[in-house]
């Protein structure tokens, strides 16, 4: 999966990421001093504390490869258990302090993992929306069933047509004026379509149902 390019610039052939230690040093040199200003230090501290907060949302499978120091990992676990506002605020400040002790390589890996999670979540959301749209199209029009099968030839056409027929049958209100109801076939069409859009045709199989011949 492609990742968003990091913000930064090149100096003597080397890429300098914005907010990195080298970036702050170069900016300090431009100001005529090698010491970071209080404003720079405060900004850096706030950014690293925010990065620590973001780590709380990172999935375990992305967190584990980072190899974070035990002290930081324990602090993250501890803040999840704190419900008191003031206690949580102080713990996050402590996490920010620990984040400042990480080297640039580890910080870059943390940012990359967070980017990967965000991009993955966006992709999953898109698949869900597309699956919902395809389900409505398949139930509404036979032509769209043909379009789907042409685009996804690995789909079990007999199963899909049976599900569509059953979903249409289920959608007919029991009495005039009542809202259409959605049964098992409606849900299984969504699962089949979502699996195919996710590239996981093996999970697109579902239990056989009555084909609902009219």
Angle at 201 between CA 196 and CA 206, to 5 degrees: 95
Is there a domain that residue 31 lies in?
Answer: yes
Count of beta carbons in the 10 Å neighbourhood of residue 166: 22
Highest mean pLDDT among 2-6, 31-35, 155-159: 155-159
Taking only the tens place, the pLDDT of each residue in 180-209 is 677 888 889 998 998 898 875 443 333 333
Q: What is the residue range of 58's domain?
A: 8-120
How confident is the model at residue 122, as a pLDDT?
74
Helix residue spans in the chain (DSSP H): 21-30, 38-55, 60-63, 70-81, 85-99, 104-140, 142-151, 157-171, 184-197
On whether both 29 and 108 belong to a single domain, the answer is yes
Residue 47 lies in a domain: yes
Q: Is the same domain home to 16 and 106?
A: yes
Q: Does 14 share its domain with 111?
A: yes
At residue 202, the pLDDT reads: 41
Domain check: are 115 and 128 in the same one? no
Mark which of 120, 144, 167 sits at the end of a domain: 120
- What does the pLDDT read at residue 102? 85
Mean predicted lDDT score pLDDT of the chain: 79
Over residues 10-66, the pLDDT tens digits come to 777 677 787 777 777 777 666 655 455 667 667 777 888 888 888 888 888 888 888
**Mean pLDDT to the nearest integer, 164-182:** 79
Q: What is the pLDDT of residue 103?
A: 86
Residues 6+ apart with CB under 8 A from 106: 66, 67, 68
Strand partners for 11: 14
For residue 51, being part of any structural domain is answered with: yes
Is 182 a member of any domain? yes
- The CATH number covering residue 151 comes to 1.10.60.30
Q: What pLDDT does residue 105 have?
A: 86
Q: For residue 178, what pLDDT band results from cuts at 50, 70 and 90? A: low
Instruction: Judge if 78 and 57 occupy the same domain.
Output: yes
* Same-domain check for residues 14 and 113: yes
Asked if residue 69 belongs to a domain, the reply is yes
Residues 116 and 127 in one domain: no
Domain count, the chain: 2
- Give domain status of residue 59, yes or no: yes
């Amino acid at each position: 999966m492609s990742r968003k390019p990091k913000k930064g610039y090149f100096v003597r052939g080397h890429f300098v990421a914005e907010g990195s230690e080298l970036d702050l040093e170069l900016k300090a040199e431009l100001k005529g001093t090698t010491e970071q200003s209080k404003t720079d230090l405060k900004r850096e501290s706030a950014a690293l504390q925010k990065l620590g907060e973001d780590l709380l949302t990172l999935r375990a499978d992305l967190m584990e490869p980072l190899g974070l120091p035990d002290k930081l990992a324990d602090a993250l676990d501890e803040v999840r258990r704190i419900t008191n506002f003031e206690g949580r605020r102080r713990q996050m400040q402590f996490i920010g302090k620990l984040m400042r002790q990480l080297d640039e390589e580890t910080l870059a890996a943390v940012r990359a993992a967070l980017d990967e999670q965000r991009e993955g979540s966006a992709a999953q959301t898109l698949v869900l929306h597309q699956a919902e749209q395809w389900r409505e199209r398949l139930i509404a029009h036979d032509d769209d069933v043909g379009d789907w099968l042409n685009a996804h030839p690995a789909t079990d056409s007999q199963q899909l047509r049976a599900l569509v027929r059953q979903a249409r049958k289920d959608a007919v209100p029991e009495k005039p004026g009542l809202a259409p109801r959605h049964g098992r076939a409606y849900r299984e069409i969504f699962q089949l379509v979502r699996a195919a859009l996710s590239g996981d045709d093996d999970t697109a199989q579902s239990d056989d149902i009555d084909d609902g011949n009219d």
